[in-house]
């Protein structure tokens, strides 16, 4: 077996960003930029009002003047070229262009208007309530480097500089193949000794969440020819995920077929629990993962190794889940020779974190993952400790650790955002 660090380094070292493609802006949500994006426009492109109020010369206010003559109304979208002179003001709406000569906006709450006469009732500093041209974005600003994930705010920012299309890395196409004659699809009756194929469904969801395009290839029974045919189809994709068939059983054909089809195995067996019989290899540029058949082991293996690889293929820089340190709420003990990933719930503890285990931790107990919002990593040979022992916890999607520990308070500081899971 190799260590977690060695396995992650091997996988990420093999994942090269896929070719770029240009897509409409609204289709780029969740994608990663294939090149740096430079702004062709300034935002805003003109000085404008940040408030409904009156535009005037700030120096006159500072000089003590409080009455002004209102000479024009400026709604949003209207350009006024006439200069605002001494003792003059323009009634102005939020977002409207500042007229020449004016450098300050007095919010309407600080004023009274009597006919054409404006009375300023509160002092306002020169330059107040004005959005200056290019204060958000200047022409030539690098908005995003290569590999930046485009979320809703990023999409909006690109729209604000009239970016209609964007170059992003292609989504990896991921073939998902379950193995084992004991598996039955959902909706079909179970015979004695048979179980449902849940692994394909969890992998499908995990691939989608990681930005990939999942392709379900069904179930390969414990038959050499069928396994060979389906795996050959799978190898036409960017990534292959097989579940089961990588142990040492008499009917585990995946490794044999991989060898026949020219898959170069990089490792088989990682010192983790669950997930020990993980296999990883390559054929050409195709990444080939053989995850264990037990549902929890398959999901944990995906989180730790497959997900970062899918993000790397998309050119992403943020490959790993965030980590926090959290105190155990119950005694914990490590496994011999392997780092154990305990499924857990994170709890706010003042400005810090605690965690509790999500019940029985067998690698076939999928409910332990459904209840979890974190993976607590217990070092090998950890002797056990009373409650309060602090361990590294990887936050999963929707984790409690993504929320502040008390209303209005800051979130607890995260550990370094890297796969440092072996204390």
Domains of the chain: 4-17+171-313 (3.40.980.10), 20-39+143-169 (3.90.105.10), 48-131 (2.170.190.11), 323-402 (2.40.340.10)
Which DSSP letter does residue 27 get?
Answer: G
Closest CA to 183 of 226, 225, 236: 226
Euclidean distance between CA atoms 400 and 403, whole angstroms? 6
Peptide bond into 44 cis (omega under 30): yes
Query: How many CB atoms are closer than 10 A to CB 132?
Result: 14
- Helix ranges restricted to H, 171-260: 199-209, 224-234, 254-260
* pLDDT for position 250: 53
- Helix ranges restricted to H, 105-179: 152-160
Residue 151, burial from CB neighbour count under 10 angstroms (0-12, 13-18, 19+): exposed
* pLDDT for position 334: 81
Over its C-alpha atoms, the chain yields an Rg (Å, rounded) of 30
Report mean pLDDT in 10-residue bins for the chain, 423 residues.
95 96 96 96 97 97 96 96 96 97 98 96 96 97 96 98 96 96 86 91 97 96 93 98 76 84 96 94 97 95 98 94 93 86 92 93 94 93 76 84 46 44 40
What's the predicted TM-score (pTM) here? 0.84
- Helix ranges restricted to H, 220-339: 224-234, 254-260, 295-301, 307-313
Euclidean distance between CA atoms 134 and 112, whole angstroms? 32
Contact 343, 59 (CB under 8 A): no
| Non-local CB neighbours of 267 within 8 Å, separated by 6+ positions | 2, 6, 7, 10, 278, 279, 280
* pLDDT for position 187: 83
* pLDDT for position 253: 83
């Amino acid at each position: 077996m190799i260590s977690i660090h060695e396995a992650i380094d091997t996988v990420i070292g093999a994942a090269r960003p896929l070719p770029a493609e240009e897509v409409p802006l609204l289709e780029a949500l969740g994608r990663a930029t294939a090149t740096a994006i430079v702004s062709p426009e300034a935002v805003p492109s003109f000085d404008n009002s940040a408030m409904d109020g009156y535009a005037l010369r700030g120096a006159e206010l500072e000089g003590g003047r409080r009455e002004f003559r209102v000479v024009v109304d400026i709604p949003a979208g209207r350009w006024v070229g006439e200069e605002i002179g001494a003792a003059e003001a323009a009634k102005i709406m939020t977002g409207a262009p500042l007229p020449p000569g004016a450098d300050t906006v007095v919010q309407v709450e600080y004023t009274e208007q009597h006919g054409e006469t404006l009375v300023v009732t509160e002092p306002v500093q020169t330059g107040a309530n004005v959005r200056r041209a290019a204060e958000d974005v200047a022409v030539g600003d690098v908005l995003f480097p290569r590999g930046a994930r485009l979320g809703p705010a990023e999409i909006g920012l690109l729209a604000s500089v009239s970016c209609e299309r964007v170059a992003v890395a292609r989504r990896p196409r991921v073939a998902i193949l379950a193995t084992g004659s004991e598996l039955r699809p959902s909706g079909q009756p179970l015979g004695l000794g048979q179980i449902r194929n849940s692994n394909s469904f969890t992998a499908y969801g995990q691939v989608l969440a990681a930005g990939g395009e999942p392709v379900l290839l069904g179930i390969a029974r414990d038959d050499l020819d069928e396994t060979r045919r389906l795996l050959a189809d799978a190898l036409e994709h960017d990534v292959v995920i097989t579940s089961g068939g990588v142990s040492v059983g008499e009917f585990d054909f995946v490794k044999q077929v991989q060898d026949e089809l020219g898959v170069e195995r990089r490792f088989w067996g990682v010192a983790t629990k669950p997930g020990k019989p993980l296999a990883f290899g390559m054929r050409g540029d195709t990444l080939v993962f053989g995850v264990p058949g037990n549902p929890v082991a398959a999901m944990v293996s995906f989180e730790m190794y497959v997900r970062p690889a899918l993000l790397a293929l998309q050119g992403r820089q943020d490959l790993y889940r965030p980590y926090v340190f959290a105190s155990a709420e119950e005694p914990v003990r490590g496994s011999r020779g392997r780092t154990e990933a305990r499924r857990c719930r994170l709890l706010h503890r003042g400005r810090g974190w605690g965690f509790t285990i999500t019940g029985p931790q067998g690698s076939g107990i999928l409910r332990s993952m459904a209840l979890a919002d974190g993976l607590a990593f217990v070092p090998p040979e950890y002797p056990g400790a009373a409650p309060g022992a602090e361990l590294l916890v990887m936050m999963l999607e929707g984790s409690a650790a993504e929320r502040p520990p008390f209303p209005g308070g800051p979130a607890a500081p995260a550990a370094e955002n890297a796969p440092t899971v072996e204390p």
